[in-house]
Homo-oligomer: A and B are copies of this chain.
Amino acid sequence: MGLKGYTSPRTPEGRSSLVPYPPWHYVGAFLVVDYWADAEQAAAFLPEGIDPHPDAGRCAFVAADWQSCSEGGDELLDPSRSQYKEVFVVVNGLYDGEEVTTCAYIWVDRDFALARGWIQGFPKKLGSIWVTRSFGLGGPADPGMQAGARFGVTCAAYERRVAEATVTLEQPSAGGPFHNAGPIVNVRHFARLAAGQHDAPAVHELVRAVSRDRLVSDVWEGSATLALHGAGHEEIDALAPVRIGRGYRFTFGYTVDDLETVREL
């Protein structure tokens, strides 16, 4: 009896939730660009409780072409419920002296991923995202994981291109990417609509991501380009690169079914 399900819509049988119960298993192809934004601007995006990183302005741009499922994996056979693409920017900082990252901007292209992100503290919006793929076959349309292979990513939101990046592979990477390596600490937030409480969110807390069963392929690295474009409704140009590091390509997987609240805001 009663309504069932991990999220709305909760229903008699509980099969309808936009986000199914954890655990959520992920695998995806990644393109990462280590870069530095203007130090002051980057610091301004850090939530209360996270201090600026000593390597001022340190950020990473990340694109992921994901496939995910819940336990049992049924979504994999109805792949519109398992695939999505995502672009995000993390700003590096210190939490209690530890190196962390925090997600300032993130776009995904599917609703279940948007809501699943909000629950984890990722400030997701919908966008339209495209990432060059590698097929492991060869030929002129398949860049491959090899020196000279070129990959591109674009992200558009509300009918504007807000981000574009390219990576040209040179060699296997020794340890990178670095700017996306720290644990991620995000702001989980859910607003109130009651009159007088529009600035008194029902949920407002600093949360630290928890994951398990991480898998990663070999990582290749090379030169990179990155551009971030603002709009009336986006301030991501404030995080535009002032210096660009290396770009990286790899495949990554993990499982998520936990989250740690580290501080109420």
Q: How many whole Å from A174's CB to the nearest CB in chain B?
A: 20
Starting from the known contacts A67-B133, A81-B233, 13 additional A-B residue pairs (CB-CB under 8 Å) come to A3-B45, A8-B123, A10-B189, A12-B45, A18-B125, A22-B193, A29-B135, A79-B131, A80-B128, A110-B126, A136-B251, A137-B216, A193-B259
Q: Count identical subunits in the complex.
A: 4
CB contacts (< 8 Å) of A10 on chain B: these are 47, 123, 187, 189
A126's nearest neighbour on chain B, judged by CB, is: B111
Interface of A is mostly: mixed
State whether A154 touches B233 (Cβ < 8 A).
no
Q: A160 on the interface (CB 8 Å rule)? A: yes
Interface code A76-91, partner B: CB below 8 Å = 1, 0 otherwise? 1111111100000000
Number of A positions contacting B (CB below 8 A): 112
Find out whether the CB atom of B26 lies under 8 angstroms from the CB atom of A233.
Answer: no
A126 to chain B, nearest CB (A): 4
Q: Are B159 and A235 in contact (CB under 8 A)?
A: no
Beta-carbon contact of B259 and A137 below 8 Å? no
